[in-house]
Amino acid sequence: MITHRLLQRLVLGFVFLFPHISISQAYWWKDAVFYEVFVRSFYDSNGDGKGDINGLIEKLDYLNDGNPSTQSDLGVTALWLMPIMPSPSYHGYDVTDYYGVESDYGNRQAFKNLIDSAHARGIKVIIDLVMNHSSSSHPWFQSALGSVNSPFRDYYIWEDSNPGFTGPWGQTVWHPRNGKWNYGIFWNEMPDLNYRNTSVQTEMKSVARFWTDSMHVDGFRLDAIQYLVEDGTQLSGTPETFAYIEDWSSNFKSVHPEVMTVGEIWSPTAVGVPYVQDGRLDMCFEFDLAESIISSLLANSPNTFQNMMNTVNTSFPESRYGTFLTNHDINRSFDQLGQNTDKAKLAAAVYLTLPGTPFIYYGEEIGMTGTGNDETKRKPMQWSNLANAGFSWGTPWEPLASNYNLVNVAAQQQDNTSLWHTYQQFISVRKENTALRKGAYKVMADVNTELIGYARYTNDELLLVIHNFTGNDVSNAAFALGATNLPEGNYAVIDLLHPEDQLATVTLGAGGNITNYEPGVDVAAYGTRILSVQIAPGFKTITSNKSLLIYPNPTDDKLQILANDNQVLEFIRVFDVLGNLVMNSNKLDFSVKSLPAGNYLVQVKFQNEILRDSKFIKE
């Protein structure tokens, strides 16, 4: 069996043999922002009332158009597709063909087209893989059901009499079948596969290799993976489950080290951690953390979230967990938050600034609603106020939410204060700042119980993130921070979300700690501030995806900023390498002759645009 250490060596060796695959590519998911899509509910391209693969392709530009100079897309960089394999159920979690594509959605060629179209835009695609069980309609099970001598009989779990025990939430797990008893932890029509059978083990390795080798998926979301192998009444987390996951993963990662895996372990944090150890999975979803974000917002206090985040941060290696608010099995976050848009914005700000890899459930970015039965949580996407919310010109497979004429993508894209724009903004900030994607996490001591502040930092970047969990502005924020090993000194501070605000400088003491910092600005009700400490030489400010053109560069006197005729200048600031503000200008051409020779950062803010920056050399 390939161990985690051996697997790392294989990855490095593969990178050496194939230099076009870098280590960063092999761990691309650390930089990603995922978007969970239920294909049936996303967009219908042919009018049959069901979303399909071609419809998803048509909407890829909404997710990420691949053009960094545009501002009309959400900016996500990866998709998780709920099951796309053939199934008798609308949701697809009972598979009848592990090598096929659901005919309601398209075919294999349509799926390949999706992969190509997504990759052309810089979007990775992972698919749901339901390894624990098949559909009772799967040919394997039908054969096994028909004869005790079927070659597929041992693909499933049978007993002559009812063993009598129930499942982890009291459900029936043994189901009568033709005088015998068959095991299925979720439903009698979802019989569990028997992973003590080496043929099943080999089959599922072949399934993974088909989707990686032939269909070019970028990874797998593994449904109910903790229930893979049972040992008597121990139904989850058995040593055999861990052993097979490691063996299964190494089978395709030895060839495709860049393919990622994320497991659904819907259990407390401590239960999930072993699944990302010893070369098993790349990460798993953090359900406890998701619940803590929601509950803290409802309580108007960050305490529950802060305590849970401390547990998560110290439990998982290398931030190997997925952050989210809700998914297809959970009441939608907007409903849980009382349909309070301010709280929904703060929820987005929280999990998009944390370690780990964020996952957005489709429609969450516009505040779609849905509670109760699963179909209600998976209603069609609300694109516009047109008939059927612009989802289909046919009759939708599931009725639209009644509020689609007010809550839809088109309306929110036109409103700069909308929830959609909040998601777009925080996705952009995360993409532009390495510290938010890969940096360390450390809670700051705070005199205000209404606030939580934490640092995200790398060797040359320090961001101080502050969230206000109450409905009142807070004006007396003050923080302390333990050692970060960043260089001592006094540094300018810029709010990446409000670059026009003037903030107090901050002092980093021995070990890069902060004994007391008062930014000197309010933190708005349910608001967030991301304070960038301007540590030389890595100036980090929020930037647009447009280049800031300045010339001449280097210069010994004049500096000219190029702008379109319709751009209205708000301000220009010049900083030295220590982060000190050395010059202001209200003109696009100005003299820097008085500045000493050296490297400088120039920041420019145009009206209705986020801050842009560039560097220049003064000769």
Angle between helices 341-351 and 419-432 in degrees, nearest 10: 10
For residue 470, give the amino acid letter.
Answer: T
Detail the DSSP E strand segments found in 226-361.
260-263, 283-285, 321-323, 357-361
Q: Which of 241, 175, 237, 165 is nearest to 183 (CA)?
A: 175
Q: What are phi and psi of 128, to 5 degrees?
A: -70, 130
Beta strands 528-533; 462-468: pairing state: antiparallel
Compute the distance between CA of residue 203 and CA of residue 211 in angstroms, rounded to an integer.
13
CA torsion angle for 117, 121, 122, 127 (degrees, to 10)? -40
Q: Residue 318: CB partners within 8 Å, gap ≥ 6?
A: none
Angle at the Cα of 21 from the Cα atoms of 118 and 69, rounded to 5 degrees: 40
DSSP label of 405: T
- Rounded to whole angstroms, what are the CA distances from 452 to 136, 207, 288, 307, 470? 49, 45, 18, 11, 11
Helix (H, G, I), strand (E, B) or coil at 210: helix
- Rounded to whole angstroms, what are the CA distances from 443 to 26, 446, 510, 581, 589? 30, 9, 18, 28, 43
Helix (H, G, I), strand (E, B) or coil at 17: helix
Rg (CA), the chain: 26
- Rounded to whole angstroms, what are the CA distances from 420 to 62, 344, 417, 430? 12, 10, 8, 15
Compute the distance between CA of residue 213 and CA of residue 215 in angstroms, rounded to an integer.
6
Q: Residue 416: CB partners within 8 Å, gap ≥ 6?
A: none
Cis-peptide into 537, omega within 30 deg: yes
CA torsion angle for 515, 517, 523, 529 (degrees, to 10)? -90
CB of 401 within 8 A of CB of 369?
yes
- Name the token pair of 205: 């390795």
Supply the residues annotated as catalytic: 223, 264
Helix (H, G, I), strand (E, B) or coil at 450: coil
- Beta sheet of 158-159, edge-to-edge order: 158-159, 180-183, 174-177
DSSP run (H or E) holding 492: none
DSSP run (H or E) holding 617: strand 612-618
Helix (H, G, I), strand (E, B) or coil at 583: strand
CA torsion angle for 324, 171, 372, 344 (degrees, to 10)? -20
b/e burial code for range 320-349 (CB count within 10 A of at least 16 → b):
bbbbbbbbbebebbbbbbeebebbbbbbbb
